[in-house]
Amino acid sequence: MIKILVVEDEPGIAFGIENDLLAEGYDVTVATDGNEAVRRARAETFDLILLDVMLPHKDGFEVCRELRNGGLTTPIVMLTAKTGEFDKVMGLDLGADDYVTKPFSARELRARIRTALRHQPGGASVSPDLQRQLIVASDVQRRLFPQLRPPVSILDYAGFCQPALAMSGDYYDFLDLSPGQLGLLLVDVSGKGIPAALLMASVHGAMRTHAPQFGSRCGELLVQLNTLLYPVGLLPKLPALQTAIQLVRGDRLVIFTDGVTEARNEQGEEFGAARLIA
């Protein structure tokens, strides 16, 4: 599992970053001042360090300088509320790999982390035992995807999932609701790896069991699913939202998760929605 050290003295920001990264499948450790950051970075092995600039006892620039002078090569992404070019350049000159300016979105931070990890020599390490678990779990996940497509005379359809890691929580299914009625299900489970796939398996079982009872009442079905699975991974409350679109002959409908549009190439460029529909 990828280990990340988050160095942030603001409790609210630290809590938000930690929860988001845990949901993404990372192993997260939080340090709240510069001295603790140096101590933990030297004593433990991390795949990446998120380092705030404004810290008690020792600021992020000094922490970065001290770690690099000590030979630490772990990727460092600076978190800073300072927008001046001098501060950004200073962090990069001291050995930081990237920086994110506050306030930042969780989506941007996750993308910066993925980019920094990809550029790490050798990539992030995975233990042999965890690698075996991922291979087995990935095989189980593949078996949950639909093997057959219920026939619908007026519709040609297909589904495809390409995990970013060995496995993911993105999931699709084809539900044979009744003669002439088809359910197309797409789920984007928060997180990556085994925890997300386990939640996805729960969604699979619940949907297959309850979908025929609800038919086209998709919103009510999601409310029922949320009630069954909360607090495992859904929301405390979920409204029965539902909308409809009219398709005519020749139309194409593309349903996708943001994992597609947020995928980045080696240059860090997002795939984006424009390429998807091109």
CATH number at residue 201: 3.60.40.10
Q: Is residue 276 part of a domain?
A: no
Residues linked to residue 76 through DSSP beta bridges, in sequence order: 49
| Token output for 7 | 């160095």
Residue 249 lies in a domain: no
pLDDT digits (tens, 9 = 90+) for 199-254: 777 788 888 888 888 888 888 888 888 787 766 555 677 788 888 888 898 998 98
Cα–Cα dist 169/191, whole Å? 7
Is 273 inside any structural domain?
Answer: no
Cβ-based neighbours of 7, under 8 Å, separated by 6 or more: 30, 31, 32, 34, 36, 37, 49, 50, 51, 52, 55, 60, 63
Q: Output the six-digit token pair for 170.
A: 């993105």
Q: What is the pLDDT of residues 79-89, one digit of tens each?
A: 887 655 555 66
Domain final residue pick, 118, 140, 172: 118
- pTM for the full predicted model: 0.54
Structure token digits, residue 185 = 């299900």
175 and 233, same domain (yes or no): yes
Each residue's pLDDT tens digit, 9-52:
988 889 889 988 888 888 999 999 999 999 999 999 999 999 99
Long-range Cβ contact pairs of 156-160 (< 8 A, separation 24 or more) = 157/182, 157/184, 159/184
